[in-house]
Amino acid sequence: MALFGKIENLDSGSNDNKKDKNISDIEKARVLIIGSGPAGYTAAIYAARANLSPILYEGLQPGGQLTTTTEVENFPGYPSGITGPEMMEDLKKQAERFGTSIRFGMATEVDFSARPYKVTIDDKKIIEAEAVIIATGATAKYLGLEDETKYAGGGVSACATCDGFFYRGKDVGVVGGGDTAAEEALYLAGLCNKVYLIVRRDELRASKVMQERVFATKNIEVLWEHQTLGLYGDGVVEGATLVKKKGTPEEEEVKIKIDGFFLAIGHKPNSDIFKPFLETDETGYIKTVPGSSRTNVPGVFACGDVQDHIYRQAVTAAGSGCMAAIDSERFLAENPLK
């Protein structure tokens, strides 16, 4: 499917979803926003100010990934910084102020075959929307070790801000070499006795300023060229088994005693339910027309981390949310439903 094309078959579709699932609760909307966070809330602010009466469903993590971040220092307008949860609450209140209907719920199925587009919420309700803005973000990746499941809730975490409190004064490990890993390690260093930063390569991918902060923090020890083989402990994490310089003559097994094991190795875009209708790249990021938020389906727009694999910043997510709202406003003006 091409990203450009004529708008075809945009009249009202059938009620197949209603019949198949016996769903009687159907609501109509001009603009439906799926997901919150900087992208979703910003899209809601702009759509509401354009008198589009947007409905926004927050998903499983209201406020998105930023609610798991402590100090946000690089978002314009906050010279002294602000916590992620506080900033998301500000954006939410601003969206509500202009008339956005913000609701807790998760999109479980979509039908983008014809307008109005049908989105099923929590398998119970269908929203028939003239335009849809997708802002579902991305989810943290795991290594795929059985021990990650075994010790879930017992020492394994993908969110230092959420769970770091429980490891005050203890030793922990952080896996990863990018900005996220550096930020997690620095945050934990303020709480924990010692932080091992487990890096697969012989260098960090993190930005220079983040690298400098890591190297300047005395209780962070960087374990270069180390990979995790597994975790051990009686019911809870008590240590990790690593391999150093895997595949080389210097390969050796290393054990470290830790109480917490934090993953910071990237994210997977939350796009699975949209793949039957929308073009995505090999990782799952939704493709958009360069310079816009338009997807291959006219009237369906994507913004934020679900379509951005390059920048992945709060400010760029907010900017793309603004684009999505303006794109949807123009689309609705040019393509009114009869």
Q: Which of 6-15, 104-113, 204-213 has the lowest mean pLDDT?
A: 6-15
Q: Which strands make up the sheet holding 226-232, listed edge to edge?
A: 226-232, 239-244, 252-256
Choose, from 147, 163, 259, 305, the residue flagged as catalytic: 163
Cβ neighbors of 103 (< 8 A, separation 6 or more) are 55, 56, 57, 58
Q: How far apart are CA 132 and CA 51, in angstroms?
A: 15
260 and 173 Cβ atoms separated by less than 8 Å: yes
* Confidence at residue 8, expressed as pLDDT on a 0 to 100 scale: 40
* Residues contacting 13, CB < 8 A, separation 6+: 111, 113, 114, 115, 116, 118
Which range has the top average pLDDT, 16-25, 74-83, 231-240?
231-240
H/E stretch holding 317 reads helix 314-334
Q: Report the alpha-carbon distance of residue 57 to residue 125 in Å, rounded.
A: 12
pLDDT value at position 92? 96
For the question of residue 11 being annotated catalytic, the response is: no
Q: How far apart are CA 128 and CA 194, in angstroms?
A: 52
> Could you confirm whether 147 is annotated as catalytic?
no
Mean pLDDT of 151-172: 88
16-139+267-334: what fold?
Answer: FAD/NAD(P)-binding domain (3.50.50)
Peptide bond into 76 cis (omega under 30): no
The count of other CB atoms within 10 Å of the CB of residue 95 is 26
From CA 265, how far away is CA 184, in angstroms rounded? 11
Range of weakest confidence among 53-57, 149-153, 210-214: 149-153
Question: Average pLDDT, stretch 117-132?
Answer: 97
Average pLDDT, the chain: 90
Maximum Cα–Cα distance across the chain: 71
Question: What pLDDT was estimated at residue 323?
Answer: 98
54 touches 100 (CB < 8 A): yes
Judged against a pLDDT cut of 50, whether residue 11 lies above it is answered with no
> CB of 121 within 8 A of CB of 29?
no
Give the three-state DSSP class for 201.
coil
Rounded Cα distance, 201 and 175, in Å: 11
Taking Cα atoms as reference points, which of 21, 26, 18 lies closest to residue 55? 26
Domain 142-263 matching CATH 3.40.50.720: the answer reads no
Q: Is 159 a residue of the active site?
A: yes
Band of pLDDT at residue 69, cut at 50, 70 and 90: low
Write phi, then psi, for 2 (nearest 5 degrees).
-90, 155
DSSP-derived secondary structure letter, 189: H
Classify residue 316 as exposed, middle or buried by CB count within 10 Å of its CB (0-12, 13-18, 19+).
Answer: middle
The confidence score (pLDDT) of residue 62 equals 82
List the chain domain ranges: 16-139+267-334, 142-263
Residue 124, beta-bridge partner list:
none
pLDDT of 180-209, one tens digit each? 899 999 999 999 999 999 999 999 999 999
Q: Which amino acid is at 250?
A: E
Q: 């998903």: which residue's tokens?
A: 59
In this predicted structure, what is the pLDDT of residue 70? 59
Find the catalytic residue in 11, 25, 122, 162. Answer: 162
CB 188 within 8 A of CB 195: yes
Alpha helices per DSSP H over 15-130: 16-21, 37-49, 84-97
Is there a shared CATH topology between the 16-139+267-334 domain and the 142-263 domain? Answer: yes
26-57 pLDDT, tens digit each: 999 999 999 999 999 999 999 999 999 999 99
Question: Any idea which residue has 């609610």 for tokens?
Answer: 67
Q: How confident is the model at residue 6 (pLDDT cuts 50, 70, 90)?
A: very low
Closest CA to 223 of 176, 276, 167: 176
Contact 297, 1 (CB under 8 A): no
In this prediction, residue 250 carries a pLDDT of 96
Q: Which residue has the higher pLDDT, 73 or 86?
A: 86
Q: How far apart are CA 162 and CA 69, in angstroms?
A: 8
